[in-house]
Amino acid sequence: MRKVLIYTFLLSLLFLAGVSFVFYGATDWLVYSLFVSTFISWLYIFFKSGRNRVSDEIERAILDSAKVSIIATDINGVITHFSKGAEDLLGYKSYELVGNETPAILHDVDEVIERTKVLNEEFGESNSPGFITFVRKVYSESKDENEWTYIRKDQSRLPVILSVTPIYSNKGTIVGFLGIATDISSMRRQNEELISAKNMALKANRSKSFFLANMSHELRTPLNGIIGMSDLLKDTDLSIEQKDLNQYIHDSSQQLGAIINDILDFSKIEVGGIEINKAPVNLKSFNASLDRIILSLNKTKNIKSSFIMEGEVPGGLVLDETRLTQVLTNLLSNAFKFTKEGSVILKCGYSEGSLIYQIEDTGIGIDQDKVSHLFSAFTQESEHMRREFEGTGLGLSIVRELLQLMGGAISVKSKKGIGSVFTASIPCEEIQDLNFEEEITEDIQLTGVKVLLVEDNLINQKLIVKTLEKVGAIVDVSLDGRDAVEKVRGGSYQLVLMDYQLPIMDGVTATKLIREFNNEIPIVALTANAFKEDKRECLLAGMNEFLAKPVTPGNLKKMIQKMI
């Protein structure tokens, strides 16, 4: 500015000197030139300073309108600027702090002490808490950004993100610091609300899981007794009418069991509680079981049914046999349910690494505008169908979810009044070296096998005791876990069937105590608690296997034979 002023004065003087010499002569030119040059120089200064004032006003207006706290300090930390935004956020007036205080007056002392410890450890220094805490990183990294808690004038607390940067002189040296703080209290509130909502959802989910676990136990326990007693009753001397009535009981209980399983499976899928367990599968044996399912479903329908193999199919594949059986049983059950006359055909093929099953029926079919909703939960084509054919409307929803979990897919083609074709594809790895054991089909005998049954439900006690005694087993009964521990300690049992929920001492605790003195005896969980978490807890406690109620006599005998 000074140089510009000197140059302006000298140029004005030189120009006017020449003009004055020409018009006024040698005597007056010097006085006139000096006067006019001085006037021009001051005029320049006036307009220049006016522009600077305008620039300063604009800058101040920008700073004051910002909804953030802007505080500048000198090199020693004394506040030199305190913006209007800072006044609004913190309650102080600029004149109270500028030239008098450092930003330390605005900070939580404990936070400053903790931050100082962190910085001292990071830089290997021993600075005391103070202004250096806010600017130490600025010297090495040109910026420091952290969350802090500002203390307002009224002592209320304000969470902020504070960004500190250096202020440089014309020579490039640090002459002060600029701190810009943004109020994050709203963001903190939102985060707290999200965390609270998440915790509430988790709590609700735990309550739901607890409810479902209890419902599973309470429903499966009596159902196990009904199905089991019905199976035992079939082997007694019944009249034709009694056999028919018993079959109605058996079929109804099986239907109820399927509905319970659908509801529980749907709940498990909702919370990601179903795992896919792939293992080598003998496809010939697997398809034979499907053929038996078709014959069973067609007992009361008496329509044409067949199982067709299309092309070459590998002898062995890696897949989840249990879940695939569930999928295909559901699809076949629907096909027979909705087909009053005509046929149901199951086709099996293998193409490009995927096992493909196709279920064709000549049933009632589906309107095209309903097909897109077919795999939604609790959905049937119409209320009339729900009343006529019964069911929860969960089956196809579960089928789709299970296939997706296995990496597969399902599609449907249907025409009202003509029939439907469901196609399920499952990617699975082919097994080259087949070494499958032939399935044992002869009747299982457990002659002389001594079993301890730990079960508090009297109906289930009678059912299991009668089932095992029929094949020669010797069965003792315990009503609670504590009694079971003492009987195992003093007895010579070859296997323990352990319920999960028991009075006095539960099955898991009893198993842990048994394992403290006996690691040899096989312990099989025989329980209505059918959730994955229950199975994991039983196995971790020391049980060897897990059977979920309702359990068929055949599966129970197979399990005992396997374990001994």
Position 12 pLDDT exceeds 80: no
Position 45 pLDDT exceeds 70: no
Cα dihedral across residues 300, 304, 306, 310: positive or negative: negative
- DSSP 8-state assignment for residue 107: B
pLDDT tens string 347-377:
999 999 999 999 999 998 888 777 777 777 5
Average of per-residue pLDDT across 162-185: 91
Position 400 pLDDT exceeds 50: yes
| pLDDT value of residue 384 | 46
Q: Is 64 exposed, middle or buried (0-12, 13-18, 19+ CB in 10 A)?
A: middle
Distance, CA of 376 to CA of 398 (rounded, Å): 9
| pLDDT value of residue 432 | 66
Distance, CA of 424 to CA of 558 (rounded, Å): 31
Distance, CA of 333 to CA of 389 (rounded, Å): 11
| pLDDT value of residue 268 | 67
pLDDT tens string 245-254:
887 787 777 7
Residue 547 CA to its chain's centroid (Å): 28
Query: Which range has the worst mean pLDDT, 56-70, 86-100, 162-176, 493-507?
Result: 56-70
| pLDDT value of residue 92 | 93
pLDDT tens string 518-545:
999 999 998 766 666 778 888 999 999 9
Average of per-residue pLDDT across 493-505: 92
Position 18 pLDDT exceeds 60: no
Distance, CA of 436 to CA of 352 (rounded, Å): 24
- Give the other-Cβ count within 10 Å of 154's Cβ: 7
Average of per-residue pLDDT across 371-391: 56
**Band of the pLDDT at 441, cuts 50, 70, 90?**
very low
Average of per-residue pLDDT across 56-74: 67
Distance, CA of 471 to CA of 564 (rounded, Å): 15
Distance, CA of 410 to CA of 396 (rounded, Å): 10
Q: Model pTM?
A: 0.48
Q: Are 146 and 123 spatial neighbours (Cβ–Cβ below 8 Å)?
A: no
pLDDT tens string 26-43:
445 444 444 444 444 444
Position 487 pLDDT exceeds 90: yes
Q: Are 476 and 453 spatial neighbours (Cβ–Cβ below 8 Å)?
A: yes
Distance, CA of 166 to CA of 177 (rounded, Å): 4
Position 106 pLDDT exceeds 70: yes
**DSSP secondary structure letters along 545-559:** EEEESS--HHHHHHH
**Band of the pLDDT at 53, cuts 50, 70, 90?**
very low
Distance, CA of 493 to CA of 476 (rounded, Å): 9
Query: Which range has the worst mean pLDDT, 155-164, 267-276, 422-431?
Result: 267-276
Average of per-residue pLDDT across 452-471: 88
Calculated CA dihedral for residues 395, 398, 400, 406, nearest 10 degrees: -140
Distance, CA of 411 to CA of 331 (rounded, Å): 12
Average of per-residue pLDDT across 115-121: 92
The amino acid occupying position 429 is E
- Give the other-Cβ count within 10 Å of 1's Cβ: 8
Radius of gyration, CA atoms only, the chain: 43
- Give the other-Cβ count within 10 Å of 9's Cβ: 17
Q: Are 364 and 336 spatial neighbours (Cβ–Cβ below 8 Å)?
A: no
Q: Is 159 helix (H, G, I), strand (E, B) or coil?
A: strand
Beta pairing partners, 70:
180
Q: Is 333 helix (H, G, I), strand (E, B) or coil?
A: helix
Average of per-residue pLDDT across 157-179: 91
| pLDDT value of residue 150 | 93
Percentage with pLDDT > 70 across the chain: 77
pLDDT tens string 279-331:
888 898 889 888 888 888 888 777 999 999 998 889 889 898 888 988 898 89
| pLDDT value of residue 507 | 92
| pLDDT value of residue 436 | 55
- Give the other-Cβ count within 10 Å of 321's Cβ: 18
Distance, CA of 356 to CA of 411 (rounded, Å): 11
